[in-house]
Amino acid sequence: MADKTSRDYVICLCRGITRGTVEDAIRENKITDLKVLCETTNAGTKCGGCREDLENLINEIAGN
C-alpha cells in the first residue's frame, strides 16, 4: 500500500482520488480554499473524512 506522501496514495477513499490528482489540481488552479478544492476535484464530497488531509495538503503546497 502506498504511503501518505506518495502521489499514488488514495487521499479520498469515497471518490477514489489520489494525492497526486489533488496536488496537481491545487497547483494548476492555485487553490487556497478547501471548498473550491472539493468542487474542483470532487474529493471530500461524500463522508468528509479526508477533508482534514485535503486542508493539510493545501497548506503544504501554499506554503512552498
22 touches ligand FES by CB under 6 A: no
Picking from 63, 17, 60, the residue whose alpha carbon sits closest to that of residue 40 is: 17
- The residue from 29, 35, 48, 52 that contacts ligand FES (CB under 6 A) is 48
Q: Which residue from 37, 44, 57, 58 is in contact with ligand FES, where contact means CB under 6 A?
A: 44
Please tell me the distance from the alpha carbon of residue 2 to that of residue 46, in angstroms, as a whole number: 22
Candidate residues 12, 26, 31, 57; the one interacting with ligand FES per rule CB under 6 A: 12
Q: What percent helix, strand, coil does the chain show, rounded to 5? A: 50, 10, 45
Q: Does 57 bind ligand FES (CB under 6 A)?
A: no
